[in-house]
Amino acid sequence: MQSILKPLLSMVLIAGSAGAAQAQSPFGKPEDAIKYRQSALFVMGQHFGRIGAVVKGKRPFDKAEVAKNAAIVEEMSKLPWDAFIAGTDKGKTQAKPNIWTEAAKFKSRHEKLEQETAKLAQVAKGGDLDAIKAQFGETGKACKACHDDFRKKD
């Protein structure tokens, strides 16, 4: 598992590392923070989608593959939140401005997502497809709740 996560995390960290030495933000520029969080959310979404394909019967169930994807989703769910910093409400982003005016609610939403992804990773290790389906649904609800409140519609 470590060998899979290291390259993924490295890619995401590179996106946010330019200018990390600047004192005001580990991201240097607001654009770097936006790229970082978008990268983390993109990778998380890709692996969540792979589990979704299994849950929907579009891909065959492979216990090890689902567990691997769930572990990646769990790790990636921890990353984007520190990149929602001042100045990142403008530019190429789908973040709604209320992320910053309703910070406690936003924090509650992303903490719920982290909890649900941790549960998904745990359930996936067990290999019970019905349990995975149920927890996938709960994790999806956590994603949707945050998107409904804090993400601009395309």
Q: Where are the domains of the chain?
A: 2-85+92-150
So what's the pLDDT on residue 96?
94
**Does residue 111 have a pLDDT over 60?**
yes
The tally of CA atoms less than 13 A away on the side-chain side of residue 37 is: 21
**Does residue 130 have a pLDDT over 90?**
yes
**Does residue 6 have a pLDDT over 80?**
no
| Distances from the Cα of 82 to the Cα of 58, 124, 127, 137, angstroms | 35, 27, 32, 26
So what's the pLDDT on residue 21?
35
Mean of pLDDT values over 113-129: 98
In the chain, where do the E strands start and end?
none
How would you label 52-65 residue by residue, b for 16+ Cβ within 10 Å and e otherwise? Answer: bebbeeeeeeeeee
So what's the pLDDT on residue 38?
97
Mean of pLDDT values over 51-79: 98
Residue of higher predicted confidence among 20 and 134: 134
The CATH code of the domain at 2-85+92-150 is 1.20.120.10
**Does residue 152 have a pLDDT over 90?**
yes
